[in-house]
Amino acid sequence: MKAISVRQPWAWGIIYSTKDIENRGWPINYRGDILIHAAKNCTKKEYQVAREFCQSMGVVIPELISLRRGQVIGIVTIVDCKFSQVASGWGMPEQYHWKLENPREITPIPYIGQLGIFEVPDDLVMEVVA
């Protein structure tokens, strides 16, 4: 199954909160379900910047130490992708906004993330989704 790594706390926001846009510097033509892999790395500074942004969106995120990292944590459906020169909601300016719907938590799967879209073996996913 297709997957993408997202740094915390953004991955948490997609699966457990209201983050319905993933910001990327490149477009995606794929539409359908994709696994959200919570990337292993997140600096305290990155976390603090994200925390402040999330608070501006009315979302309180968990402490960094409690966020899962280096694991696939859920599934979401990509329904659209549009470039935007302006910020709006979760969308950042000068980015491709991947429109996300239907986030679903799964039993976490420890996995090493990769850049871009990557494949996670179906047998690993079926064990936790079924």
Q: Which domains does the chain have, with CATH numbers?
A: 2-127 (2.30.130.30)
Beta bridge partners of 72: 37, 109
Task: Give the model confidence (pLDDT) of 59-105 as tens digits.
Answer: 999 999 999 999 999 999 999 999 999 998 999 999 999 999 999 99
Query: Phi first, then psi: what are they for 95, rounded to 5°?
Result: -135, 160
What's the rounded Cα separation, in Å, for the pair 36 and 94?
A: 23
Beta bridge partners of 80: 99
Per-residue pLDDT for 124 more than 70?
Answer: yes
- For position 130, what pLDDT does the model report? 55
pTM: 0.93
Closest CA to 98 of 84, 116, 80: 80
**Contact (Cβ atoms closer than 8 angstroms) between residue 47 and residue 64:** yes
For residue 55, give the amino acid letter.
Answer: Q
